[in-house]
């Protein structure tokens, strides 16, 4: 019996070598003759099967945990690119860069300075394109405007440097895959009517580049990613909205199944440009004010603040009117037995007082469904990347 117990202990600790059931039973029989009783032998056979199933289950869980730990979520937005992965303690670790560049004349001095400070850049003809947040710093110093490789959620067709620039910025936030086929999920916008072919090109370029880095890459629309990130407590039923710089993406999900997915080609950038014209300020300056001090709970004190209120309200109304129209036109929608939530993510929804403004306009909109509440994502900037990471981990 002692031999039997030792062998079972080896099986449980994973130290036993793999043998077929017949050899296992014979080994057990050799170690203890009392198991010759047919009843006891049958119990041992059942126990061996249970041990094998437990071992296989543990191996499967270990493999799943390993894949989850190595997975990456990548939010490729018009304004920023963010990567997210799981940390050793089960938390998440993010890395982000501004999705922008600023060109300066090429010179040995500039190159030496960029290398010394480990700033990302690429050479383009007689110029150097400074990348990411460093591009914003250069633009501020030279009183210029950053350029972006993307517009309204897609690669800019008219920007000849869009593809090489965005590839280099992606390299700033994720490394090459540690092993071929490492899981990766990246965000894409929902299709816009008339621009479907542009989305196919955009997604294809990114997927091909990420595959070249060693990843097994798949895509997810931004609105769907917000649903995965924020609506687990609602059985993934509700409306997820990503309000980004280039556009707004929406997904109505029922039990994790995307039912209505759409986007509107308006976002934070449109607000910045419109406000800059009214206030006679640079777009960069307007963007900084919006991100650092805009407060909708306060009464507007000047032309710029009035403009922010007006253009934000116009964006929210455009979004909700489109949502209402699509719900009214849709056929064979799932039957909802209760009100559903709206959850909003993205940098454009972050000014203080935004939720109150959104709620007010929502009450004035004739939506054909009942909304239980409007809430801002737990971490608006990371929600899309988090949903992409969750999708990469399954």
114, part of any domain: yes
What's the number of domains the chain is made of? 3
Give pLDDT, residue 90.
82
**What's the rounded Cα separation, in Å, for the pair 16 and 23?**
12
Residue 368, in any domain of the structure = yes
Q: Give the CATH number, domain containing residue 90.
A: 3.30.420.40
Whether residue 42 is found in the same domain as residue 84: no
Residues 261 and 379 grouped into a single domain:
yes
Q: What one-character-per-residue DSSP string does 173-225 give?
A: H----SSTTEEEEEEEPPP-TT-HHHHHHHHHHHHHHHHHTTEEEEEEEHHHH
Domain stops at, among 36, 68, 100: 68
The parts of the chain modelled with pLDDT lower than 70 are 1-68
- Do residues 257 and 363 both lie within one domain? yes
Q: Tell me, yes or no, whether 124 lies in a domain.
A: yes
Return all residues near 163 (Cβ < 8 A) that are at least 6 apart. 149, 155, 205
Give me the domain span that covers residue 221: 71-229
**Pair (322, 345) in one structural domain:** yes
How many other C-beta atoms lie within 10 A of the C-beta of residue 109? 7
First to last CA, the chain: 43
Predicted pLDDT of residue 302? 94
Question: What pLDDT, on the 0 to 100 scale, is given for residue 369?
Answer: 94
Please identify, among 178, 198, 229, the residue that sits at the C-terminal boundary of a domain. 229
Q: Is residue 184 one of the residues assigned to a domain?
A: yes
Q: Which of 68, 86, 105 is the last residue of a domain?
A: 68
44 φ/ψ angles, rounded to the nearest 5 degrees: -65, -40
CB atoms within 10 A of CB 250: 28
Together in a domain, 218 and 96: yes
* Claim to verify: residue 14 and residue 75 sit in the same structural domain: no
Residues pairing with 279 in the sheet: none
Q: Is residue 242 part of a domain?
A: no
Q: What share of the chain is helix, strand, coil (3-state, %, to 5)?
A: 50, 20, 30
Is the same domain home to 254 and 187?
no
Instruction: Using the CB atoms, write b or e for 142-153: b if 16+ within 10 Å.
Output: eeeebbbbbbbb
Does residue 389 lie within any of the structural domains?
A: no
- Would you say residue 26 lies in a domain? yes
Do both 88 and 222 map to the same domain? Answer: yes
Q: How do strand 80-86 and strand 238-243 relate by DSSP bridges?
A: unpaired
Global pTM? 0.82
Residue 35's pLDDT is what?
47
Say whether both 76 and 64 belong to one domain. no
Same domain, 298 and 266: yes
Cα angle for residues 187, 349, 71 (degrees, 5° grid)? 30
pLDDT of residue 124: 85
Same domain, 284 and 202: no
CA atoms of 228 and 384, how far apart (whole Å) = 9
Q: What is the pLDDT of residue 25?
A: 54
Domain match, 54 and 107 both: no
Quick check: 296 and 354 in contact, CB under 8 A?
yes
């Amino acid at each position: 019996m002692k031999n039997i117990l030792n062998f079972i202990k080896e099986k449980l600790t994973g130290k036993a070598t793999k043998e077929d059931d017949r050899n296992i039973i014979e080994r057990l029989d050799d170690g203890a003759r009392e198991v010759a009783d047919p009843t006891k032998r049958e119990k041992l056979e059942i126990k061996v099967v249970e041990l094998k199933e437990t071992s296989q289950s543990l191996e499967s869980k270990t493999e799943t945990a390993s894949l989850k730990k190595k997975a990456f979520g990548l939010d490729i937005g018009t304004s920023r690119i963010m990567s997210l992965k799981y940390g050793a303690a089960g938390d998440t670790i993010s890395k982000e860069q501004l999705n922008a560049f600023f060109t300066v004349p090429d010179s040995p001095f500039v190159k030496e300075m960029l290398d010394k400070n480990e700033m990302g850049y690429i050479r383009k003809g007689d110029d150097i394109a400074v990348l990411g947040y460093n591009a914003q710093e250069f633009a501020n110093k030279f009183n210029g405007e950053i350029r972006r490789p993307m517009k309204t959620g897609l690669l800019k067709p008219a920007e000849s440097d869009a593809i090489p620039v965005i590839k280099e910025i992606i390299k700033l936030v994720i490394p090459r895959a540690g092993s071929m086929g490492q899981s990766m999920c990246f965000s894409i916008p929902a299709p816009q009517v008339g621009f479907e072919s542009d989305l196919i090109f955009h997604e294809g370029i990114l997927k091909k580049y990420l595959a070249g880095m060693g990843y097994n890459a798949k895509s997810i629309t931004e609105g769907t990613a917000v649903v995965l990130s924020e609506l687990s407590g609602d059985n993934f039923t509700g409306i997820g909205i990503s309000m980004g710089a280039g556009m707004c993406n929406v997904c109505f999900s029922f039990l994790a199944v995307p039912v209505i997915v759409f986007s509107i080609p308006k976002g934070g950038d449109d607000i910045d440009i419109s406000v800059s014209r009214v206030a006679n300020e640079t777009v960069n300056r307007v963007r900084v004010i919006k991100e650092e001090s805009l407060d909708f709970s306060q009464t507007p004190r000047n032309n710029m603040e009035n403009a922010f209120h007006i253009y934000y309200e116009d964006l929210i109304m455009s979004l909700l009117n489109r949502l209402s129209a699509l719900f009214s036109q849709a056929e064979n929608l799932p039957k909802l037995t209760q009100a559903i939530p709206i959850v909003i993510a993205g940098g454009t929804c972050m000014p203080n007082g935004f939720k109150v403004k959104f709620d007010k306009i929502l009450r004035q909109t004739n939506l054909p469904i009942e909304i239980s509440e409007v809430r801002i994502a737990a971490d608006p900037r990371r929600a899309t990347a988090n949903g992409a990471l969750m999708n990469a981990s399954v």
